[in-house]
Amino acid sequence: MIRILRGLAHKYFSDEEAVILFLLILAGIVFVILFGAMLAPAIAAVIVAFILQGLVAKLNKMGVPEIVSIIGVFLIFLGVLIGFLFGLLPLIWTQVTSLAGEAPRIFREMQSYLEVLPQQYPTLISMEGINTIYNQVTTEAGRMTQWLVSFSLASIPDLVALLIYMVLLPILVFFFLKDRRYLLESISRMLPSQRPMMVRIWNEVNLQCANYVRGKAVEILIVGGVTYVSFKLLGMPYAALLSLMVGLSVVIPYIGAAVVTIPVAMIALFAFGWGSDFIWVMVAYGIIQALDGNVLVPVLFSEVNNLHPVAIIIAVLFFGGIWGLWGVFFAIPLATMLKAIFSAWPVKDQQAPT
């Protein structure tokens, strides 16, 4: 066993830079686990600044002075944030509470649809199975309704903390944009002067993750906006809530679209019944998904090295299980970073001396 461990250490950790990088990754993971919740505004600000930096760089290439680019991009971000907090968020919350109030009627109609299935397909579906499914769904819906009712009272401290975060986030984003070079130079002073592997990994991760994160932000806005306009024109209820869900679903490839299709179809069915309106809603939703997958994604991510579908699904399951919703959102950038690290990691073929 000792000989095997010595051979692995010689093969993968004989380079000093590899050892330092391994320790940095390990320290970063421990730091996020221990202090991630405490430093959530700072981590979110780093991610937002990373997304906005691409627009600042493009404005610089067009001849706009850097400080003017930073201020202009920051004002755009501030306007979007204010619009989300005071425009979209209250609308979504109103629709969520309205949907919770309509839940009993929706489930009564669902029961009437389900009761017909055993008569039409007696060999495939039994009434006992239908009743079991209905009882489970009703129980979960009751719990969700109780949570929504008690949310406004039980989560006042969380709302106060959220307001503080919303004040800190723009301030941190501005300074991360303005002092980006100074902060990066300060971090680089703590690293070895000769670090070709780290530079290679940084360049690849910066290119791939920047294109992916910024592309996903644009994709969320386009898909969510087009879905909202389409649903409003078709008279679909809860259009803002559903369009937000459809927009965020693009973050999780393959799985997100399949999961969001269920609430879209259910609400369309209960709003319009089996008819032409229901068909038009589902056709519009299918066209949006098809255009997203076949037109928008190739345009936005033409410079990104696509991961294998199996790797994407495993990354979503693994990081989602570790960090919950945040892990799901950043599963692909994290998988891209690991791919860059593994491809650049120095490996020696010769065996360790005995």
Task: State both tokens at 200.
Answer: 């290679």
| Cα–Cα–Cα angle for 326, 330, 333, rounded to 5 degrees | 165
Give per-residue pLDDT as tens, 178-220: 888 888 888 777 777 777 777 777 777 777 777 777 778 888 8
Identify the band that residue 229 occupies on the pLDDT scale cut at 50, 70 and 90: very high
DSSP E strands in the chain: the ranges are none
**C-beta neighbour count of 351 within 10 angstroms:** 11
C-alpha distances out from residue 37 to 34, 193, 234, 322, 324, Å:
8, 33, 41, 14, 12
Residue 287's pLDDT is 93
Identify the band that residue 325 occupies on the pLDDT scale cut at 50, 70 and 90: low
C-alpha distances out from residue 148 to 107, 130, 144, 154, 239, Å:
17, 27, 6, 10, 19
- Average pLDDT of the chain is 77
Between 256 and 278, the more confident residue is 278
* Backbone torsions φ then ψ of 190, nearest 5 degrees: -85, -5
Between 150 and 282, the more confident residue is 282
Maximum mean pLDDT: which of 33-42, 128-137, 258-267: 258-267
Give per-residue pLDDT as tens, 108-128: 776 676 667 667 666 666 667
Give per-residue pLDDT as tens, 81-101: 888 888 888 888 888 778 777
**pLDDT over 90 (residue 226):** yes
C-alpha distances out from residue 146 to 105, 115, 292, Å:
16, 27, 36
Maximum mean pLDDT: which of 15-29, 74-88, 162-176, 220-234: 220-234
* Cα dihedral 111/117/119/121 (nearest 10): -160
Residue 153's pLDDT is 46
H helices of 155-238, in order, are 156-178, 180-189, 196-233
Enumerate the domain spans of the chain: 15-187+196-344
